[in-house]
């Protein structure tokens, strides 16, 4: 097994699992897709950027497939989930990595920015979770992992819409965890910052280390695995301790 902390674990805890990664064309989403495949899973990578999902899938190999999806469109999401299950021969879970962030101060936030942020971050998360959960409920088992932001717990000045939508995602996860527990479906969230993909947040954490996308991957692999079978409704901070230290990572200018 390789060392942890920025390096992907070789633990193969997802053998036989078929998993959907939304937002899979992004830096963290693509890293998650590669990590799940390395842990033994078949992966469907979905994103608005269809060409990029195909590239990510090709870089992984035959156990991966790329799909197009508009997470704000109900029909698109339902079709994506059905296609993923068909292509992979099943569906056992979701890692939702899609998000939109356009920082604005409260009094300067226009309605279009508010609506787009909520539409992508909250409505999109709801639609993806609902479509996957309907499939998982039929088989009586499955896992949802939602990537979100610490601003959902501690609002970030100058980023009203993202903070509000992140709070909604965390509450959505709690509600799903409670309602879907009788169906054998678990739901948890990961707060994945700071990483080297977010240079403005570095190096302010108690470990004084830059986060890596692979740190998020390792957390996702664990939460999706049977080793986390007694964990649901939790928010896992993969942030070098920044949330406990109470740092404000993006001060208002």
Q: Which of 25, 37, 98, 162 is catalytic?
A: 162
Q: Mention every residue, 6+ apart, whose C-beta is less than 8 A from residue 210.
A: 194, 195, 196, 202, 203
Cβ atoms of 183 and 172 within 8 Å: the answer is no
Cβ atoms of 225 and 36 within 8 Å: the answer is no
Please state, in angstroms and rounded to a whole number, the distance separating the CA atoms of residues 29 and 94.
Answer: 12
Please state, in angstroms and rounded to a whole number, the distance separating the CA atoms of residues 1 and 115.
Answer: 45
- 162 is an active site residue: yes
Q: Report the number of secondary-structure helices (H) and strands (E) in the chain.
A: 8, 7
**CB atoms closer than 10 angstroms to residue 119:** 16
DSSP code of 237? Answer: E
- Please report the sign of the dihedral spanned by the C-alpha atoms of residue 170, residue 175, residue 178, residue 179: negative
Active site positions, annotated: 162
């Amino acid at each position: 097994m390789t060392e942890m902390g920025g390096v992907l674990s070789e633990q193969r805890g997802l053998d036989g699992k078929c998993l959907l990664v939304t937002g899979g064309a992004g830096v963290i989403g693509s890293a998650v897709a590669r990590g799940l495949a390395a842990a033994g899973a078949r992966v469907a990578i979905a994103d608005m950027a269809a060409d990029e999902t195909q590239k990510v899938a090709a870089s992984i190999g035959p156990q991966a497939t790329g799909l197009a999806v508009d997470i704000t469109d109900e029909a698109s999401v339902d079709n994506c989930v059905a296609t993923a299950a068909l292509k992979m021969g099943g569906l056992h879970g979701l890692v939702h990595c899609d998000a939109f962030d356009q920082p604005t101060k409260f009094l300067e936030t226009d309605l279009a920015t508010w609506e787009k942020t909520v539409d992508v971050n909250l409505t999109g998360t709801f639609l993806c979770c609902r479509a996957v959960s309907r499939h998982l409920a039929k088989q009586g088992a499955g896992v949802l992992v939602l990537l979100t932001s610490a601003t959902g717990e501690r609002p970030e000045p100058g980023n009203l819409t993202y903070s509000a939508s992140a709070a909604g995602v965390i509450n959505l996860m709690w509600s799903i965890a409670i309602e879907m527990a009788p169906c054998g479906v678990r739901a948890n969230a990961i707060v994945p910052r700071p990483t080297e993909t977010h240079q403005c947040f570095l190096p302010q954490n108690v470990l004084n280390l830059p986060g890596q996308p692979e740190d998020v991957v390792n957390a996702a692999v664990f939460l999706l695995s049977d080793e986390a079978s007694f964990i649901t409704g939790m928010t896992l901070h993969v942030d070098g301790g920044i949330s406990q230290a109470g740092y404000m990572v993006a001060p208002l200018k």
